Amino acid sequence: MYVESVASGGYDTLVQSALLCRVVFYRRLAHEDARAELTGLRNLIFDAGYAMPEECQLDILGVRWQPRPGTFMLYRDWAGNPAYRSCQVERQQVGPF
């Protein structure tokens, strides 16, 4: 996971290199239409013990993803113990444009 560098302004400062996570398709609700901006959305599921900053980027198998602020959730098991966290992430373009 990368956070924004003060010197360059880009997401190139590595802060976490071994986060167990999984990117899954974003599940749309019935009232949402198939807008183009929703096609780049996915859900990120990750370890409940890690508090991910909202302003970061993740490099997962060579693809950059950025969490959407305000979408972070903590899920608990039946006993109330933290089970996992999730957030929506959006695919990012990296490199020369």
Q: Residues 48-89: pLDDT tens digits?
A: 999 999 999 999 888 899 999 999 999 999 999 999 999 999
Q: Does residue 8 fall inside a structural domain?
A: yes
Q: Does residue 61 fall inside a structural domain?
A: yes
> Tokens 């924004």, residue?
4
> The domain containing residue 26 runs over which residues?
2-91
What are the φ/ψ torsions at residue 51 (nearest 5 degrees)?
-95, 95
Using alpha carbons, list the distances in angstroms from residue 46 to 5, 9, 86: 24, 26, 6
Q: Does residue 97 fall inside a structural domain?
A: no
Q: Does residue 39 fall inside a structural domain?
A: yes
Q: Does residue 96 fall inside a structural domain?
A: no
Asked whether residue 27 carries a pLDDT value surpassing 70, the answer given is: no
Q: Does residue 26 fall inside a structural domain?
A: yes
Name the 3-class secondary structure at 14.
strand
* Number of domains the chain contains: 1
pTM of the predicted protein model: 0.77
Q: Does residue 81 fall inside a structural domain?
A: yes
